[in-house]
Each structure stands twice: as structure tokens, then as C-alpha cells.
Amino acid sequence: MKILKMTGIGLLLIIVIVFAFNYSKLKLISGFTAKNMASSYFLAHRNVDYTNKTDNHGPLTKLATTVVDKTYNSSLATVLGMSSKKAVYRKGVGAVLIHSDKDFTKDYLVPNRNLTPINKPYPYGNLAPEKHIFSNIDTKTLDSLTSNCFVENHPDGIKQTRSILVLYKGKIISEKYASGFDENSLLQGWSITKSLLTTCFGVLENKNLFDINKPITDFPDWLQDDRKKITTNHLLRMESGLEWKENYKTICDVTQMLFDDVDLTKRPLSKTLEYPIETMFNYSSGTSNILSALLKKQFASEQSYMDFPYKELIDKIGMHSMVLETDLKNNYVASSYSWATTRDWAKFGQLMLDKGIWNNEQILHPNWIKYISTPNKTSKGEYGGQWWLNKGNFMPNVPADCFYADGYQGQRIFVIPSKDLVIVRFGVTQLGRVGFYPLFDKLIGNICKTIK
């Protein structure tokens, strides 16, 4: 009897320990689904059922139950009736997880926007795109390739695709959408936000207002140890040596930052060196949020920081659908949160293809494009400056000069200078980056072959 009692106590203790560990994990799941639901419902105008069946239907996130409150522009998510998380939508800066009901009425900054349409055909303006027929393009094959991505489980496609747009020499040669989506639908960039917001440093450099190769002096704590040797270049190339764990399947730095923190720059800024600088490629969403904090330090006011990405980049090239989401401390979440239409995402790619020139204005110096598309020292040709590369032949059928912005679930903006191509794909495919390589290698490689 004593043995049975001790066994029962042991089992109960194990259950309590397992529950305690997983309860923290449940909070992260509810945080993801609440935030994603608020953005999807209030910003992208997709309904609750659809969002639950698609965007929130990952192996763990599908366990959550989400309720939308239109009165307070909020969403509440729970997992198994426990561990609730709430997100609120704020016009102009998207959705954010809140920690108390006081956050509903908390003041926040909104960027000043210039939404005056640019009176030119797409992509260089906001007028309808001009139709153009290129005799050197196999349009029938191209149409088949892009169409296959909307046929679920097609051997030549990529399942759960929402949009594909192909620009050749600045002209749309293919544009397709899944049912329920069109050229006006907002789509989340996820980590494409890294490539977008950090381009602001290229804008600053072009204005001779910043030097990415100088040690960072804006963070006082860093000046007390070896972090004083870190430059913006090291951060852009993910070679700073800062400690960071990026694993979305467990409780770690990235999940705690995104789904629990109030200030999404504080946790990564607190990290110390784990490796000597420039000896390890460590992909880190925390690093991108440090860059957001560093960008804020370049301005005399938070409002100027809020306005800058739109004034000098986003609205300047007519990406008027774009919304960069912020945390509760008015920081742009450079790691993860941005929304725009497929056409506007393609404009960003076209700016890169055009070496930083937009309507005869040099927004970025050509050297910036060269910089971001040059491999860092430690990624074996896979990563440049907040952009992914194909220098290491990771997609053997895709030209080696291809560089691309990469986001969760297969969001991509491919820029291929040798082919004058920008290829944009958005969807909700549950695969890791490595799992996408053979799929995009086949798709992008075959699209390139249609150009004679």
C-alpha cells in the first residue's frame, strides 16, 4: 500500500511538472493566435473561421480557440480553456498583444503618411499596369507554372499559395491569386520585414547620415564589455556573436520576445556575446529588433522615427497599402510584422532590381544593393545583409545572383538581376526554409527558363 501511495505521488508530481512546463508553452500558442487573429481580422479583413483554418492551423496553434470583440477591436485566444492572451488592433500600426486592460486606452504613435497617388503606371506609380507582350517569353509555359501553384498537391506547384506575381523588366508578365484574394488583399510579410525595415540604413547611408561600419555607441550597456566592438554591419549580417535562440517549437528567446514581451527590443539588447564577432552565422529575429532600436536612436523624436520608413522609402515608392506593426513601446517589430498587397511587395523587389533608383531618384546607393547581396563570412553563401542569397548554390536551378527576402510559411520576394526578374510568392505553407529549397528551386528555375 505504501508503495502504491508513493507511486501515485510520483505520478502526480510528474503530471504537475509536465503541466507547469506546457502551461508556459500554451501561453505562447495563445499569444501567436491572438495576435495573428487581430491582424488578420481587423487589418486584412479576413473572417475568424478562415483565419483559424489557414493562418492559425499549425500543428500547435490549431489547438487554440479565438474570439473577436468588435467593440474593442480585440481578439482573445485560449488553449484548452486555459492560458488566455489578448491582442488589440490600433489603426495605423496594426495589432499588438496586451498585458492588461489598461493597454486598451494606452496612447500610441501613428506614422504620418503621404498617400498621394503617383501618376504613373504600376510598378513605378499607382495607375493600372500597362500591358506588354515580350516575344522572348514562353507565356504558355509561364502561365502553366504559376497556375500549378494554386492546384493543391500538384507535383510542379507549391501548395497553399495565395498569390504569385512576376515582373520582367518592370512589367507584369504573370499575376495570379487564390480564391478570395486579389491585388487589393493585404498579406503578411513575416520575416520579409527584416529586409524591408533594415533598408532604412541604406537610405541613411545614401544621405551620408550613417556608417554601418562604425562601432555602435547608442546602447550604454554595450560600452561596458566586448559588445562595444559590434558594428551595424555585424548586425545586418547576423554575425554579431550575440547569444540568441531561434526555435519556434519551444520556449526560447524568439517566442518569449514575440508573444510575451512588452518592449520587443529589450530582450535582444540584454544579450551578451556567445561567440567572437564574425565567427558564427546565427539567424536572429532579436538582431533585427536591435536594428529597429538602433534606427530609433538616429532621430530626435519617436515621431520622426515612426515617419522615416514611410517618408523616405515606403510611401516614396508608392507602397501605400503597407502597414508596419509596432509593439507597446512604439518600436517597429522589424523581425516579423508587416502587411501589404502583393503588388506593393513587388515594388520593393523592383527597387532592388533597379539598384535603388525610383522615378529618377536615387533612394539607395547602388553599393547598398551590392552590399546586401554579397555573402557574409560565415553562412557559406546563404546570407548577405538581411537578405538571403543563392551564392552557395542552395537552389542549383536558380541563377547564382538571385537574392531574396524570406518570411515564415513561404513568403518570398526573389530578385534576379541576370534575368531582369522580380518574383513574389505568398502563402501559408507549413515548411521550414530548407524544406522550401527544392520547391522554389523547381518553380523559380523553370520560370527563368521561360525567358529566352
Question: Given this model, what pLDDT does residue 18 score?
Answer: 39
Rounded Cα gap, residues 392 and 377, in angstroms:
12
pLDDT for the residue 23 = 59
pLDDT at 26: 83
> How do residues 206-235 score in pLDDT, each as one tens digit?
999 999 999 999 999 999 999 999 999 999
At residue 2, the pLDDT reads 52
Please give the pLDDT value at position 24: 67
- pLDDT for position 22: 55
Distance CA 290, CA 219 (A): 10
Contact 181, 195 (CB under 8 A): no
Could you give the CA distance from residue 104 to residue 75 in angstroms, rounded to a whole number?
12
Strand, helix or coil at 292?
helix
pLDDT beneath 70: ranges in the chain: 1-24, 104
Domain boundaries, given as residue ranges, for the chain:
2-103, 162-449
Enclosing H/E stretch for 424: strand 421-427
| Residue 1: predicted pLDDT | 55
Predicted local distance difference test score (pLDDT) of residue 12: 42
What span, in angstroms and rounded, lies between the C-alpha atoms of 439 and 423?
A: 14
Task: Report how far apart, in Å, the C-alpha atoms of 359 and of each of 96, 320, 355 are.
Answer: 35, 16, 12
Domain formed by 162-449, architecture: 3-Layer(aba) Sandwich (3.40)
Nine-digit cell string for 242: 550575440
Cα angle 239, 270, 336 (rounded to 5 degrees) comes to: 65
Q: What is the pLDDT of residue 15?
A: 36
pLDDT the model gives residue 13: 37
- pLDDT at residue 3, as a whole number: 59
DSSP string, 47-94: -HHHHHHTTT-STTGGGEEEEEETTTTEEEEEETTEEEEEEEEETTTE
> With left for phi above 0 and alpha for psi between -120 and 50, is residue 268 left, alpha or beta?
alpha
- Give start and end residues of each alpha helix (H) in 395-432: none
Cell of 81: 480553456
Specify the pLDDT at position 62.
Answer: 81
